[in-house]
Structure 1
């Protein structure tokens, strides 16, 4: 197992050293006797490993988002369930490995421990004191840590055995690319009302009433669920939350990397054995004999292998940094000496330097911190509000006794009230019964609400006089399209093949290279899907709201699978599909193991862990 493979175990050590606020999770042991969260067969899932992994995953999300997230938000996203499921799958594999006798030997274990930089002296030799200190700070015994190294290694061996050689056949990628990359060329003409020989006549009330009756579903007041609710959101409290300047400045300094960043560049690096080899490759590209992609492919590599992502000049360092950061985007520089030897660098983009002063960042910082504090204030009130509801308080009384606001609405799928924009509210509003008691529910932004269904109103037709203008417009459009369709029916067969549209007085335009997910302006939404159902040379009439489109499929072109860009896409499709298949195989195996090794979870212990994160 390489150094990188031990990183997740080492992260656990470092996380345990950092999470002082949770007392090393010692407090999670409840009375001092409960240390197990659950079991998988004979394997134990401990409170500490669940808590550490949960904290680590929250840290990952915060790093990606660039801001702190509350535990309530993490739970709303299902993070706690994902962490628990992953630990259960790992322990199921541990149980299977023990059954098979698969484990890391003592000699290899020692080599692994000796290779971890955090346990080494300056000369690379093993530092016994550093190892013991790390175990002490992490509150792990050496035996526990070494057992975790053995387990992780065996787990990885088992995973590798499962997915090695799992690959999608090339015909999969070819079939997919042929489908996705196939193109259509079409000729399009529009038939409008002014092309009718006899204009659409005005309709009398008898005709309009008949159309209204025949299309009554288009003129209905929707069925509504009449709901009373009380709610509280961070935005309602944000103006009452005070954030002192010290906190604001500390947050600004802690996030200085977000507000003040040096210029970064999107770079690919292709290393060579010698500077002469690199220069020969560059000369071929300059003469147009080969592309950068071609050279990468000749080296037996993929673009992902040479992609460095976005880097700063300091990260590149030395001559490489100087050469790359004076060249324009899109250029290839080199040969330049790097830590891989002579190399060529391709610059794919420039991310300009960013500098934001404290004063400029202040409004956003204050709003973010105030919103976060408001969410915490709301979290602390949930228990009291639950108690009020349990004691029989109504939603109206919640608004009087707490900071919640009262409101009513006739809810339906297209309701426009602000609270109806929350998916959590919509889900409850759609299912609640009149017999249900109000309960505190959480909103996506950290707010809360409780609602009561008072009664329901059936859908009712809007009075004819109220909607008469809309009925008139709808009937006129419908009658116009009907007449235009008759005109189109007479033209369809005459326009098939290569007939000229202008010979029939039609103003046509051509659209070439249409893809299945392509966009064509000024046509109905189903235009592209209908075009891809036609045979070459055939014509179709497509109805729109007040006009008809005539379209002829002129050509069908398959993608060029020899094109370098298409080949690159093909490799990417195969790679992603193979990775997805390997993941499916692993997940199916892990799920099956959980049937072999029964799973139990101590819900009380799980709640205790979660309480420490509140």
Structure 2
């Protein structure tokens, strides 16, 4: 197996996970049994726990990306389990090389690396041993285990640097890619529309429509439908039962006074100096024609570094009066501040804003009533669940509680009403006809329960019911075919010496567009084909149901001195260099595997995966 990424070992990923997941852990338990490893490269083992951690982390990351749990079966079907194992084999190969060469790091370097990890620090930003121990316990590590793996990881990084460090892609290769990517085209195009046709499209016969219907039956087939009965209760349904009196709303208004009563503010930039003489010298330079950006640059800063955003008087301390007295775009100072003498530039004036209770009442009431309704539903939930568990039908729930009954012919495209909730769609997709209704929550604090009555498989819609749809689809196809035939005539005419405009179509000229460039008027396939067509040659293409003809007028070579092109060249160089470095590591790891030997215990691999179903 090839190693897909040597740059970050399992240990580094665990450190990152601690930071990202707030030490929440993966719910991982140690795996028991006689097998301690899933494989080895030489004498370097890939432990069962390492493999389990790597799998669990990959599942966690993919679940977060997709917004829903990822199962081990899904990991296997997409080959991700093999990718995870391949990474660990590659890391083991580099580790085996480090072991054979005697490469390692000392205790001092190991300690420094551990001290740098934010997850091991206290609120003061200092390493805390108790925090360290707790973090390791959360991840299923003992201190010796973790430190041994971290030492191995650092050793591997030394080997990786020796093998692939400083690899640069050859300049001719980078330039060739850059020229290709940055090359542009100028072209003239026209859309061939129905008005460009010499003959009108005739009306179809019934036989033609029937034949079209039969040949394109997929277009006229109803999707699988799930016949579902449901009962639900949302905060909106309780609106009449959770009215809030004005006294409560006024109290809430006062509690949120900072939200409804905004003081005046200023958009301000600030530069602080070491002493008053330096600040005065900067002000003199400003009076002499320099800009605030120039002053920032003199300090090795940008305006972004000097930007304070929108500030109130309280935010500015001693500088409040002069800054708030200044006009827009004025520079104030030098002013003594807690940080030292400073210059302030006023970039905007934001007047005080106050929303009265009357103006805020509807918002306050909506928020308070929705919250109260959610709380009421929360209080009801236990009783509702008990009723369902006791055998109450959805129809009975609607009669005896505040829940409302509904019916839906649910398909994958359903989005109206309750089908607008992700939670309902997920439950509807997973429901079976033999399952009992169970109370589930909605994103707005509501609840629902459903019953799948039956599943209606996909089936063709009767021809008589969709005849108009069939006629519209038939005509659209006929129009496109006729437009394509007309496009062929236009291309032939241009090849015969006419210009595109002389063929009678309305043309548009594009002076310059980049490879993969965006156009408001043309779909991407047209731009792509322009770059595949020789200059001076006409071509046609059908995209998104429309027919286009064009002539590529010119090729505009990349300007290698242009700032944007240089930026692209740098990015390409970095990507190619990284790719070459990774290839070198792959070759090196493969060589180590061949020399040291790769041993995999597929039975243990399967056993680890089975505990993650």
TM range (shorter): 0.5 to 0.7
Q: 1:507/1:419 Cα in 2 relative to 1: closer, same or farther (>3 Å)?
A: same
Shift of 1:310: 2.5
Q: How does 1:17-166 map to 2 (within 5 A)?
A: 151=131
1:468: which partner in 2?
Answer: 467
Q: Which deviations, in whole Å up to 9, do the C-alpha atoms of 1:285-337 show, x marking residues without a partner?
A: 56xxxx93x76456433554323232234423555764477544xx4735643
2:306: which partner in 1?
Answer: 306
1:366 is paired with a residue of what secondary structure?
Answer: helix
1:597: which partner in 2?
Answer: none
Q: 1:170/1:239 Cα in 2 relative to 1: closer, same or farther (>3 Å)?
A: farther
1:262 corresponds to 2:267:
no
Give the stretch that moved more between structures: 194-203 or 452-461. Answer: 194-203
1:399: which partner in 2?
Answer: 398
2:505: which partner in 1?
Answer: 506
1:242: which partner in 2?
Answer: 243
1:189 is paired with a residue of what secondary structure?
Answer: strand
2:232: which partner in 1?
Answer: 231
Q: 1:39/1:542 Cα in 2 relative to 1: closer, same or farther (>3 Å)?
A: closer
2:540 is paired with a residue of what secondary structure?
Answer: strand
Contact (CA 8 Å) 1:324, 1:345: kept in 2 or not? no
Q: 1:308/1:180 Cα in 2 relative to 1: closer, same or farther (>3 Å)?
A: farther
2:87: which partner in 1?
Answer: none
Structure 2 residues not aligned, in runs of 5+: 1-26, 31-66, 69-106, 116-121, 136-146, 158-164, 575-613
1:275 corresponds to 2:298:
no
Quick one: distance in 1 between partners of 2:565 and 2:264? 29
The total of aligned residue pairs comes to 436
Indicate which of 319, 331, 334 corresponds to 1:333.
331
Quick one: distance in 1 between partners of 2:269 and 2:539? 48
1:359 is paired with a residue of what secondary structure?
Answer: helix
Q: How does 1:147-546 map to 2 (within 5 A)?
A: 151=131, 186-272=187-273, 273-280=278-285, 283=288, 285=290, 292=293, 296=296, 299-317=299-317, 322-323=322-323, 326-328=326-328, 331=329, 333=331, 336-337=334-335, 339=337, 341=340, 345=344, 353-492=352-491, 500-511=499-510, 520-524=519-523, 541-543=540-542
Quick one: distance in 1 between partners of 2:516 and 2:345? 31
Q: 1:154/1:472 Cα in 2 relative to 1: closer, same or farther (>3 Å)?
A: closer
2:64: which partner in 1?
Answer: none
Quick one: distance in 1 between partners of 2:507 and 2:336? 58
Q: 1:151/1:457 Cα in 2 relative to 1: closer, same or farther (>3 Å)?
A: closer
2:374 is paired with a residue of what secondary structure?
Answer: helix
Quick one: distance in 1 between partners of 2:265 and 2:181? 35
Shift of 1:523: 3.8
Quick one: distance in 2 between partners of 1:485 and 1:501? 16
Contact (CA 8 Å) 2:525, 2:543: kept in 1 or not? no
Q: 1:323/1:544 Cα in 2 relative to 1: closer, same or farther (>3 Å)?
A: same
Structure 1 residues not aligned, in runs of 5+: 1-37, 42-76, 79-95, 105-111, 117-144, 575-614
Shift of 1:248: 1.0
Q: 1:544/1:376 Cα in 2 relative to 1: closer, same or farther (>3 Å)?
A: same
Contact (CA 8 Å) 1:523, 1:549: kept in 2 or not? no
Quick one: distance in 1 between partners of 2:516 and 2:253? 44
2:227 is paired with a residue of what secondary structure?
Answer: strand
Contact (CA 8 Å) 1:275, 1:343: kept in 2 or not? no
2:74: which partner in 1?
Answer: none
Q: 1:427/1:351 Cα in 2 relative to 1: closer, same or farther (>3 Å)?
A: farther
What is the RMSD computed on CA atoms of the aligned residues? 5.2
